[in-house]
A and B are shown apart, each in its own frame.
Chain A
Amino acid sequence: MKERKTHIYTILSYCVLITACVIVLYPILWVIASSFKSSGLVGSSLIPKNFTFENYMDIFRNENANFTRWFINSIVISTISAFMTLSIVMPASYACSRMNFRGKKFLLITFLTLQMFPAFMSAIALYTIFAWLRLVDTYLGLVIIYCANTVPFSLWIMKNYFDSIPFEIEESAFVDGATMFQSFTHILLPMARPIIYVVFLISFLGSYCEYLLANIILMSGKKWTLALGMRSLTVSQFSTNWPVFSAISVVSAVPIVILFFLSERYLTSGLTQGAIK
């Protein structure tokens, strides 16, 4: 009796998993299939009738779609904001973890709360300020916003990670005459490599295909990022060319998906760590 019950559980579990996988996979396979279909209506089938590489050739030479430009813009902007986030957050989280100073608690609580106020919530104010500072329609403006958006969360997870590294190791280095900077670069940084990857990736992935803030800041088509460019394809007044759009989606998403799964263990633990102790 008990044996049978367990069997039913297992079968039910498989059913749930397989249903979930079908729901997850269908849209993905559909885009991939569509990207190989010849232009026109793409239909619902997952197997292209007239298999063609034409769409992929198209996106790299199409003068209207400027795909390469958007792609490079996105990569450059998100890489710079990731590096900037790291360079700003590393010293700050080091200070918050290893030093005591007046106002530290206030700072941490404020950042924890600010984490819930993403920059686009004050989009109107942000636009006014950045227009005045002449940062609208510049990459720098966008990079600054992306960076500020990730700083509070990154500071928290990095501080928590530094906290988990015992202080004694550094202390012994101090005894041996190391300066604080030396102990930071030679001891803490090598040990904190995982969290550095995580912060870099969170920042990179967060800005790579961001739409809303980019839409406020970047005006001219030449400076568009992937998200803006792709959006312009889907809402164009002429018929949307789904096969080409699908090809662009696949090309833009594949590197990110690979990056995600290469670093999955670090990344998922980093993202869930803030919440679960």
Chain B
Amino acid sequence: MTFHNCSHLLAVVLSIICPGMGQLLLGKIKKGLSFLGITALFVSAYFLVIRKPIHAFFTLSSFGNVYDSRHILLVGIISLCVVTIYLLFHISNVVQIVTLLKGTENKRRVAIRFKPYFYISGSVFLVFLVIFVPFLFGIALAFTNYNLYHSPPRSHFEWVGLANFTKLFRTSSPWWSQFKAVFLWNITYAVLGSFISFSVGLLLSLVLNNPRIRGRRFFRTVLFLPWAIPSTISIMVFSGLFNTNFGAVNQILESIGFHAIPWFQNKFFARVAVILVHVWISTPFNIAMASAALKSIPNQLYEAAKLDGASRLQAFFKITCPLLMKILAPILILMIAGNFNNFGIIYLLTNGGPAISGSRGIGGTDILMTWIYNLGFSQLQWAMASALTVIVFAFVVVFSLINLKLSGATRQINEGR
């Protein structure tokens, strides 16, 4: 990058010091003034409002009339968000000046208009408040000692650094053995549950796709019923069906000569029940997915294969299978990630049970999310619960990155209009 003269260098330096000055120097009066205005607004807001909460955030000490540590944390996070947004603005302002001077200004450069920002503001605000801020808040809590003994408003909590995580991952601590047990079952549940319902869904969609079958519409409607019924209701109904004493499943088993199965008293059977209910509920979605994928395979491929003398089995394994897998692989990842936190079934069906002796409160079907929920809302171990949540977040991020890569969503946006 070469600067033609001193004034260009001055413009860059000025824009680094104060956004808007550079634009003014280069004769972009309107833009320069509006940028100056934004900067002035931020600087005054910083000294009048934001500075104290940010300071309080790092020390977790009270400021003004805010004494509750949780509120200090929250206001601090929001203030830090404001600062981050300003910094992004500041950097983009410098980048703008530099591209302007280099003369390689993108021809499709987007003029700043306020209308689109106005249109998206509702969604952004809502998602910011309900998903993003709680997300940051949860991460922050994981580094504090917020628990029964340090619980505002009676008391206050402090930063403890990585203490919660070292507690969790030190192999000698009871937390580690609990975490290991819960995590292993969580993975098994997510992978096995998704995989079984995926295979069943694929099989059923292939069968439903067979033109020789009569009454396909009827079968399809029946098979879609579990999707139509609110899942909360189905899960509660299943808790009755699987009831050890009066449940219909055991009565049927006994009437054909088997023993009654202690569905919710035995760890293994409770896990089987959870996965069975999961498969019952989520198979229709998988059928729909697989059918949509099957429809997207062009028919010409099969015709060409037929001409070349391929048998139906060959066509299935050489055309249908690979193409289906290519389309459905990202969805399978997405489903595994979703199931990793699919906490409704376990919470409503077994509530994490059955209790296992010597495991300090975790049950045979507890997954990370149910464990977190109980740690927080019934044992008031908020900080530990948040540390576990951070681990879950990390997992979901990894899954979603894989999915993003596989499904090519980024490419799609780049190619979009």
A271 contacts B344, C-beta separation under 8 Å: no
A240 within 8 A of B: yes
Docked complex Cα distance between A118 and B369 (Å): 12
B293 contacts A276, C-beta separation under 8 Å: yes
A234 contacts B240, C-beta separation under 8 Å: yes
Docked complex Cα distance between A114 and B230 (Å): 24
Docked complex Cα distance between A169 and B212 (Å): 43
A163 within 8 A of B: yes
**Residues from chain B with Cβ under 8 Å of A1 in the complex:** none
B248 contacts A116, C-beta separation under 8 Å: no
Of B23-31, B33-41, B42-50, B407-415, the one touching chain A: B407-415
A80 within 8 A of B: no
Docked complex Cα distance between A272 and B205 (Å): 14
| Chain B proximity of A44: nearest CB distance (Å) | 4
A211 contacts B344, C-beta separation under 8 Å: yes
Interface positions, chain A 184-226, Cβ under 8 Å from B, are: 205, 208-212, 216
B338 contacts A124, C-beta separation under 8 Å: no
Q: How many residues of B contact A (CB 8 A)?
A: 107
Closest to B409 in A: A112
B288 contacts A275, C-beta separation under 8 Å: no
What is the 8 Å Cβ interface bit string for chain A, positions 219-255, against chain B (1 contact, 0 not)?
A: 0000000010011001000001010011001001100
Docked complex Cα distance between A102 and B112 (Å): 7
Docked complex Cα distance between A271 and B335 (Å): 13
B288 contacts A268, C-beta separation under 8 Å: yes
A249 contacts B233, C-beta separation under 8 Å: yes
A56 within 8 A of B: no
Known: A112-B409, A249-B236. A256 touches B229 (CB 8 A): yes
Closest to B375 in A: A124
**Residues from chain A with Cβ under 8 Å of B232 in the complex:** 209-211, 227, 230-231
Docked complex Cα distance between A111 and B393 (Å): 15
In the complex, which of the residues A120, A129, A147 contacts B343, with contact meaning CB atoms closer than 8 Å?
Answer: A120
B413 contacts A109, C-beta separation under 8 Å: yes
A182 within 8 A of B: no
Closest to A254 in B: B229
What is the 8 Å Cβ interface bit string for chain A, positions 76-119, against chain B (1 contact, 0 not)?
A: 00000000000111011011110111101101110111101111
Closest to A94 in B: B119
A20 contacts B122, C-beta separation under 8 Å: no
What is the 8 Å Cβ interface bit string for chain B, positions 335-367, against chain A (1 contact, 0 not)?
A: 001100101100110000000000000000000
B238 within 8 A of A: yes
Docked complex Cα distance between A105 and B369 (Å): 31
A64 within 8 A of B: no
B338 contacts A122, C-beta separation under 8 Å: no
A6 contacts B212, C-beta separation under 8 Å: yes
A28 within 8 A of B: yes
Of B9-17, B179-187, B220-228, the one touching chain A: B220-228
B113 contacts A24, C-beta separation under 8 Å: no
What is the 8 Å Cβ interface bit string for chain B, positions 241-254, against chain A (1 contact, 0 not)?
A: 10000101101100
A230 contacts B236, C-beta separation under 8 Å: yes
| Chain A proximity of B368: nearest CB distance (Å) | 10
**Residues from chain A with Cβ under 8 Å of B377 in the complex:** 123-124, 216
A257 contacts B385, C-beta separation under 8 Å: no
A231 contacts B127, C-beta separation under 8 Å: no
B115 within 8 A of A: yes
In the complex, which of the residues A102, A149, A163, A205 contacts B230, with contact meaning CB atoms closer than 8 Å?
Answer: A205
Closest to A208 in B: B230
**Residues from chain A with Cβ under 8 Å of B225 in the complex:** 24-25, 28, 257
A148 within 8 A of B: yes
A148 contacts B130, C-beta separation under 8 Å: yes
A92 contacts B122, C-beta separation under 8 Å: yes
| Chain B proximity of A271: nearest CB distance (Å) | 7
**Residues from chain B with Cβ under 8 Å of A117 in the complex:** 131, 135, 393, 396
Q: What are 29 A-B pairs at a CB distance below 8 A?
A: A16-B204, A28-B229, A41-B246, A44-B248, A89-B123, A92-B124, A105-B414, A108-B413, A109-B409, A109-B410, A113-B397, A117-B393, A121-B135, A121-B396, A122-B137, A124-B138, A124-B141, A124-B376, A125-B135, A125-B138, A129-B133, A151-B126, A211-B232, A211-B348, A231-B232, A253-B233, A269-B292, A272-B288, A276-B296
A-B pairs, top 9 by smallest CB distance, nearest first, are A209-B230, A148-B130, A44-B248, A260-B228, A125-B134, A122-B134, A95-B119, A125-B137, A91-B119
List residues of A whose CB falls within 8 A of some B CB: 6, 9-10, 13-14, 16-17, 20-21, 23-25, 27-28, 30-31, 41-44, 87-89, 91-92, 94-97, 99-102, 104-105, 107-109, 111-114, 116-126, 128-129, 132, 144-145, 147-149, 151-152, 155, 163, 167, 180, 205, 208-212, 216, 227, 230-231, 234, 240, 242, 245-246, 249, 252-253, 256-257, 260-261, 264, 268-269, 271-272, 275-277
List 13 other contacts, CB 8 Å, given A42-B248, A125-B135: A10-B210, A20-B223, A24-B280, A30-B237, A100-B110, A112-B404, A124-B138, A124-B385, A126-B134, A212-B343, A253-B230, A260-B227, A271-B285
